[in-house]
Amino acid sequence: MELEVMKQLAAALAIGLGAIGPGLGIGFIGRGAMEAIGRNPEASGKISTNMILAIAFTDAIAIFALVVALIIIFI
């Protein structure tokens, strides 16, 4: 295989595998928050704030995977 094809394959694997974990993590965070709000609706403000913060941290991992994929492609 040529070097360019290998770079594209590596970048595709980096972002593909790097997005699976954060996708599942965000789903689990959302599910847990909805269950918690269902059990205690009065605490929805605190739960939502913590949920958004956790989603932001989890999404950062996918952004790092995207950066790695772009580095692989362009360097």
Residue 65: CATH number of its domain: 1.20.20.10
Burial of 37 (0-12, 13-18, 19+ CB in 10 A): middle
Tell me the whole-structure pTM to 2 decimals: 0.82
**Tens of each residue's pLDDT in the chain, 75 residues:** 899 999 999 999 999 999 999 999 999 999 999 999 999 999 999 999 999 999 999 999 999 999 999 999 998
Domain extent, residue 43, equals: 3-74
Q: How far is Cα 68 from Cα 18, in angstroms, rounded to an integer?
A: 9
The total domain count for the chain is 1
